Amino acid sequence: MKIYKTNNYYEMSCKAANIIAAQMTLKPDSVLGLATGSTPEGIYQQLIAKCLKGEIDFSNIQTVNLDEYVGLDKDNPQSYQYYMNSKLFSHVNIPEGNYHLPNGMATDSETECKRYDQLIEDLGYVDLQLLGLGLNGHIGFNEPNTHFSKGTYLVGLAKSTIDANSRFFENYEDVPRFAYTMGIKTIMSAKKILLVVNGKAKAKILKEVVTGRITPEVPASILQLHNDVTIVADSEALSLL
């Protein structure tokens, strides 16, 4: 694992965006694995700025997102498709058809999970997977004690994740209880992984992820076994390491 420490969230975002931009420059038809949540927002802003300046080009890039809530369609402002459109896709030159998320409205979950895994395989697997870190050590929506051998699947979200996600919803009852997520096996099949972490609240879990036992109790601890992981984190998140 390579770990880069930055002074703050802005520098973390710039550094991570530079790593993604370098990937896009070296391989203009890269498959990028993307994440939602608060952490990557600054990265997407940096990528938009680079694209507007002509420094990076999305025209041959394909993207696959980690996850999507079940029951929210793409026009629902809380869906991850909506998040991605508003925070990245509608501002850059990525062709429609080049970005992919699980379909939260799919009625047959088994077929949907197979479709998503097949899509990733057909794209030649993810070249660079961007990950945020949940307070309980989740990556994607792989909650503690998920089996490491899973491909994409339908997951019931942990109470701590529902609580954390409720900040984006008006009513607690509206927070979805289920999501489709890439499994750990899918995430580990990415050629490179970029984990971004900021803030004091994540210092303890980040320490466990990097130096603790590899255990399904801390899903992100599996990253210790991947051969190309880069962590970009601010000094608060790295304060216990």
User: Which residues are marked as active site?
Assistant: 67, 136, 138, 143
State the residue number with the nearest CB to ligand F6R: 132
Which strands, in side-by-side order, build the sheet including 178-181? Answer: 67-69, 178-181, 153-156
Residue whose token pair is 């479709």: 115
8-state DSSP, 149: T
Site for ligand F6R in 38-97 (CB under 6 A): 38-39, 66-67
134 near ligand F6R, judged by CB under 6 A: yes
Options 14-22, 100-108, 133-141, 217-225: segment touching ligand F6R (CB under 6 A): 133-141
Task: Report phi then psi at 97, rounded to 5.
Answer: 105, -15
- For residue 212, the minimal CB distance to ligand F6R (Å) is 18
CA distance 129 to 34: 6
Give, as one character, the DSSP assignment of residue 103: -
Neighbours of 52 (CB within 10 A): 12
List the one residue from 23, 36, 81, 186 that touches ligand F6R (CB under 6 A): 36
Q: Which range touches ligand F6R (CB under 6 A), out of 7-15, 30-38, 71-79, 227-235? A: 30-38
Q: Which is nearer to ligand F6R, 57 or 136 (CB)?
A: 136
* Residue whose entry in the numeric block shows the structure tokens 């216990």: 240
Q: Which residues bind ligand F6R (CB under 6 A)?
A: 35-39, 66-67, 132-134, 138-141
